[in-house]
Chain A
Amino acid sequence: MALLELYHYWVFVVLLMIGFYAVIAKLNLIKKLIGLSLFQAAVFLLYITMNKVEGGTAPIFTDGAVDQLYSNPLPQVLILTAIVVGISTLALGLGIVVRIKEEYDTIEEHEIQEIDRQ
């Protein structure tokens, strides 16, 4: 059971590295951005994993419940913010990619470098 509980952290690590791999190894700019959002999603998972309290429930009070354990609200707040930051970055990144496509007619990193070298 202990291993099963660590599984959440491992998934965080594996997702993080899948995303990281995509960002550094892929040359297509959109693929890089997809990788970047996977990378960030992994961090969301890390924080949300922390917030869980065994036997607890979502930190929204229910009427009449006494001695109810609640999960930690703070990581949730942080991740709400982080998700918004993530989508903002993504939107900006995509805007830049669209402009790159217009200017260079390609969104492959090595081809752009090729064009710039000329």
Chain B
Amino acid sequence: MTILASLAIPLAGALAIMLAARISDNLRETMTLITSVALAWNVWSLLPAIMAGDRPEIILFEVIPGIEIGFAIEPLGMLFAALASALWIVNSVYSIGYMRGNNEKKQTRFYVFFAFSLAATIGIAFAANLFTLFLFYEALTLLTYPLVSHKGDEKTLRSARVYLGVLLTTSIGLLLPAIIWTYLVAGNGDFTPGGILAGHVEGPALGLLLGLFVFGIGKAAVMPVHRWLPAAMVAPTPVSALLHAVAVVKAGVFTVTKVIVYIFGIEHLFSTPSSGWLLYVAAFTIIAASLVALRQTNIKRLLAYSTVAQLSYVIMAAAILKPLAEIGASIHMVAHAFGKITLFFAAGAIYTASKKTEIGQLAGIGRRMPWTMTAFTIGALSMIGVPPTGGFVSKWFILAGAFQADNYVAIFTIITSTVLNAAYFLPIVFIAWFGRETEGAGPDHGEAPLPIIIALTTTAALTILFFLFNGPVIALEAQIFGGPSS
């Protein structure tokens, strides 16, 4: 029942928001907060049972014989749902400040679709089989479209078209055939520990199927299907946060990981040489995206490319196909979420306060906005992987996995990209704190509105706290993969 409640709460919330908006804006935003807290409460209440090894599941109904809509909770999905629902609270607080601070129009539509998107995200996280997952995956694409195209001018529409186009093309064109293929050969698409394809698909065909899945899940933004991510930068910052940290890209890498673990099966993939290409593609994406990020001058675009690179960390970690690396993948999802949401919040705070969007304009801004830039710095360090931030933990596990597999490509990639990350983040931090502000370059401004500050401080704190207290997450994930001790 709790599973269905998790789905129903955001939906009911959307309705409540719609109705509340007729009365007053304050009520509408209160509704958003209430809904997000209720959802988080509900999702987190599932945690103890899952930690204890329980696997609740529910079959809603049978669509066509053999294909059901059903939900089942396992550690990976639990982690994702817990993450998304928690970050939604923070994001809601931030949204209130951002939307008001920038006088955005059609705010009701924004909050309603935000709530809908969360419902779809929870659906993805808890899906019990490929079909259900695909259903919510597509729903998420469509429900975020109004958010991405929020501004509604010609340029935004064009970018939103790219967003929708790439995601729909890949999902209908590659993911759907892959899913149907899976159902055809395996008879079902249930997520089963150990995978369901062993004995059905072997050799080169397996590599092909993996390709269909990985490139079909466009949300994972593996090159060359990453184009939608920079394009979606036209959206308001809370939406970017949703895309990069809370829901969309996380849904992508989550789906890839889940497919690798529960459909292909790590063992089966590891024993099939033709699937090895995935690691190289992920490694290439990491390096290439980092190089592109180096040359960006717009903060949000830089962050977008950084996301492309970080996502491929998860993919690469999953593709190492060793338990430690898999744990690293799931932890990196969390760590990156905390770090990246902090960075976006900071970028949005700068925009709200000063309307600045370019890196060159940031000189000396640390003195005007100390809270914001502190958070930004923490986020950047986490991206690079410097202790004491969450990013360090995940890189540690991934490296450990790579050594376990004697995978030197992965090791080399991680080291190179760490250097590159440092190369594009540290200059920003440096000029923000130590650069000299050009005279009369912009309006006089101080910190961003209070809700924004609260939100970004919270996430920055989380980034650091995750370094200190990551035990439960590892324990949770160790249930599937066998922990570091084993």
Is there a contact between chains A and B in the complex with CB atoms less than 8 Å apart? Answer: no
